[in-house]
Homo-oligomer: A and B are copies of this chain.
Amino acid sequence: MRYRLSVSTAIFYGKVKKRRAELALPADEEGKERYPNKPAVTAMAGILYRKFGLKTAFTLRSHLNTDSLPAVARTLSPGFSNGQLQTSKDRLWGIRCRELHAGGHAAPARRPFSRVTPEDLAFFRKLLPGRTITDPDLLEASNVDWLKSVKGFSEVLLKPRTTKEVSEILRYCNSCNLAVSPQGGNTGLVGGSVPVYDEIILSTALMNSVLNFDRVSGILSCQAGCVLESLSAYLEDRDYIMPLDLGAKGSCHIGGNVATNAGGLRLLRYGSLRGTVLGLEVVLADGRVLDCMATLRKDNTGYDLKQLFIGSEGTLGVITAVTILCPRKPKAVNVAFLGCESFEQLLQTFQMCRGMLGEILSAFEFLDRDCMRLLNSHLKLANPITDCPFYILIETSGSNPTHDEEKLHQFLEEAMTSSLVIDGTVATEELKIKALWSLRERVTEALTHDGFTYKYDISLPVEQIYQLVTDMREHLGDRAKSVVGYGHVGDGNVHLNITSPAKNPALLASIEPFVYEWTARFHGSISAEHGLGLKKRNYIYYSKSSQAVALMGNIKTMFDPKGILNPYKTLPDDLQRAS
């Protein structure tokens, strides 16, 4: 006797189709069902239950004991059991990093820039009447970062509206040796967007005009201060989307996104800003305006200078305008939220997903059980599926809804029958899609409620990304409140976050340099997408050769000989001292 659970292709989407997938379940002698393929059945059951409240599905689920799921392996990864560093060929980061590490987090001493005088203020007020802010209350939000982890003491906030104004500000500051901290939406996570001492804050907040949009080519030109979400809304009305999306979209500026080479949630599909940014306008330290505002997909006339400014965190110039290639708005978007028993199975799911969803796969994100716990307890967000060690969020975007649904269904069926996924839910309506996305996007926010957070943004070969979290958890034992991992599987990028009831130097000393040495050992990047800013500047040698760092110093000197642009950031202290 065999029990048959029929699943229609269309069940996920509320349509009726003829195609049926069959999962065959043997029954034992006493008439009770046994589940040789438990996870697949649970997953299917969970989906059926949530989507349609099917009683059968519910009954099937009740037989499963989720407590019996195997725990995540907690052993240290092979070859790293002693926690010691094996020096990588051609990299000098070993000794140099340990040397710098001691003072890594502390800001270096204030460099001998001029202090703002009444004459300077008079100049700024004449140039920017009503837009030269000196009221300490109004300055406060711009002096501290979003995480409230870095605080400066700037007494002047300038809000130019035009490139010409930015140019005049910088020409003046450079001639007077006044340091400048460029600021977009101030959503950075490495202390790169706030002053360290009394640097003048140059905000792009009022530079928020769209300059041009070409509906044929999808090329958008806009000022640097446009908020990402506003640009997205502008484009959606015109049947396009921005090629990047990130949790901070409601505040972050496109200029800041470019200056930090933001990655985010769509990189897997639309690639990095290095490919999609077609042109930039940049004001150099001495006020010269560098016009690289091409609106062309291809231009091989000499060195691509704009690339230097992408990801240079405001240390080489102030980006004032951006030209970016935008993809068509997809006609269909689907999101699946799935649960896995192990990270190994999650990776197998990823491989299967890439093969079966192919060109429509637009995101493959993950969070672990601890992230879900924080979402539940701090933000009251409910887990839409069974408790699992790992959760996956898969997004598809395509031009043909029927084809996309078929592909997604075939993939889900395969993932479940091969026991890779133990539960899941699917959304096609915008509201439910947003709800599922918020589980991934709001982890950062949940963490801020859990205590003081030590944040790490690590790139690794994808097979290794969770081992770092497991090893760190083992390494720290009960010294940390929470050790969680989430991030962009498709990009090999994990966000490792460690919380503590309060700032805890002893805990920090246990985390670092352990985390950086671990990363360097696997040839990872110690900052996948957050940048270096103030906080990570001295750890650059873990990911870049000393040769490369020295060249960075030469380039900085060439573009900003007085070093007035975003000082104390991005470049390591030894290099700043040297220059």
Q: Which residues of A contact B (CB under 8 A)?
A: 90-91, 214, 216-217, 260-261, 263, 267, 271-272, 274-276, 288-292, 294-305, 307-308, 310-312, 316, 328, 330-331, 347, 351, 354-360, 397-400, 403, 406-407, 459-463, 488, 491-493, 523-532, 536, 540, 543-545, 547-549, 551-552, 554-555, 558, 570-571
Contact = CB atoms under 8 A, between A and B. Distances in A.
Contacts of A398: 358-359
A547 B291 contact: yes
Contacts of A524: 296
Contact of A540 (B302, B312, B536): B302
Given A461-B217, A525-B299, A305 B548 contact: yes
Contact of A544 (B214, B295, B302, B529): B302
A506 to B, nearest CB: 27
Contacts of A570: 302
B492 A298 contact: yes
A72 to B, nearest CB: 20
B291 A545 contact: yes
Given A217-B461, A274-B304, A406-B403, A493 B297 contact: yes
Across the A-B interface, the 9 shortest Cβ-Cβ residue pairs:
A358-B399, A275-B275, A307-B307, A299-B525, A298-B528, A403-B403, A359-B359, A271-B275, A301-B543
A229 to B, nearest CB: 22
Contact of A298 (B289, B400, B459): B459
A298 B274 contact: no
A331 B407 CA distance: 13
Contacts of A492: 217, 296-298
B525 A290 contact: no
Contact of A545 (B290, B355, B551): B290
Contact of A528 (B271, B299, B303, B463): B299
16 contacts: A214-B461, A217-B462, A261-B300, A263-B300, A288-B547, A291-B545, A292-B548, A295-B461, A300-B532, A301-B526, A331-B358, A355-B399, A403-B403, A403-B407, A555-B558, A558-B558
A311 to B, nearest CB: 6
B311 A304 contact: yes
Given A548-B292, A558-B558, A459 B523 contact: no
A545 B293 CA distance: 10
A399 B357 contact: yes
A462 B300 contact: no
A549 B302 contact: yes
A555 B510 CA distance: 42
Contacts of A548: 290-292, 302, 305
Given A288-B547, A545-B291, A274 B530 contact: no
Given A302-B570, A303-B555, A358-B398, A267 B217 contact: no
Contacts of A359: 330, 359-360, 397-399
A558 B555 CA distance: 8
Given A261-B304, A359-B360, 20 more contacts: A216-B351, A272-B275, A275-B276, A294-B525, A295-B523, A296-B524, A296-B525, A297-B492, A298-B492, A299-B525, A299-B543, A300-B311, A300-B531, A301-B540, A303-B555, A305-B552, A328-B355, A359-B399, A403-B406, A558-B558
A351 B310 CA distance: 31
A544 B279 CA distance: 12
Contacts of A547: 288-291
A303 B296 contact: no
Contact of A297 (B297, B459, B545): B459
Contacts of A530: 300
A248 to B, nearest CB: 15
A115 to B, nearest CB: 29
